[in-house]
Amino acid sequence: MKVGLFIPCYVDQFYPKVGIATFELLQKLGCDVDFPMKQTCCGQPMANSGYQHLTKGCDANFITNFADFDYIVCPSGSCVMHVKEHLHSDTNEEEATRLRANVYELTEFITDILKVKSIEGDFPFKVGMHQSCHGQRGLKLSQMSELNAPFFSKPEQLLHNIKGLALVSLTRKDECCGFGGTFCVTEEAISVKMGQDRIKDHEKYQVDYITGGDMSCLMHLEGILRRQNSPIKIIHIAEILNSI
The footprint of other proteins on residues 139-158 (CB under 8 A) is 144-149
By CB under 8 A, name the one of 222, 232, 239, 243 that touches other proteins.
222
The reply to whether 12 sits near other proteins by the rule CB under 8 A is yes
Q: CB under 8 A: which stretch of 89-97, 114-122, 156-164, 169-177 binds other proteins? A: 169-177
Counting residues that bind other proteins (by CB under 8 A) gives 82
Return the SS3 of 64.
Answer: helix
Q: For other proteins, give the closer residue by CB, 161 or 171.
A: 171
How many other CB atoms are there within 10 angstroms of residue 142's CB atom?
23
| Closer by beta carbon to other proteins, 96 or else 165 | 96
Considering the rule CB under 8 A, would residue 223 count as an interface residue with other proteins? yes
Cβ proximity of 88 and 220 under 8 Å: no
Asked if residue 75 binds other proteins (CB under 8 A), the reply is: no
* Cα 87 from chain centre: 18
Q: Which of 3, 6, 25, 61 binds other proteins (CB under 8 A)?
A: 61
Burial class of 27 by CB neighbour count within 10 A (0 to 12, 13 to 18, 19+): middle
On the CB side of 63, CA atoms within 13 Å amount to: 20
| Cβ pair 25, 242 in contact under 8 A | yes
Q: Say how far apart CA 144 and CA 153 lie, in whole Å.
A: 9
For residue 13, the tally of other CB atoms under 10 A from its CB is 9
Q: For residue 33, count CB atoms less than 10 angstroms from its CB and return exposed for 0-12, middle for 13-18, buried for 19 or more.
A: buried
Which CB, 117 or 200, lies closer to other proteins? 200
Amino acid at 136: Q
Binding status of residue 242 toward other proteins by CB under 8 A: no
Q: Any contact of residue 137 with other proteins (CB under 8 A)?
A: yes
Sheet holding 103-105, edge to edge: 32-34, 2-5, 71-74, 103-105
Residue 213 makes contact with other proteins by CB under 8 A: no
Q: Which amino acid is at 12?
A: D
Give the footprint of other proteins on residues 172-211 (CB under 8 A). Answer: 172, 174-176, 178-195, 197
Shortest separation between residue 81's beta carbon and other proteins, angstroms: 10
Q: 3-class DSSP state for residue 148? A: coil
Q: Which of 52, 92, 118, 157 binds other proteins (CB under 8 A)?
A: 52
Q: What is the nearest approach in angstroms of other proteins to the Cβ of residue 182?
A: 5
Q: Does 41 bind other proteins (CB under 8 A)?
A: yes
User: By CB under 8 A, is residue 134 in contact with other proteins?
Assistant: yes
Asked if 83 touches other proteins (CB under 8 A), the answer is no
CB 148, min distance to other proteins, A: 4
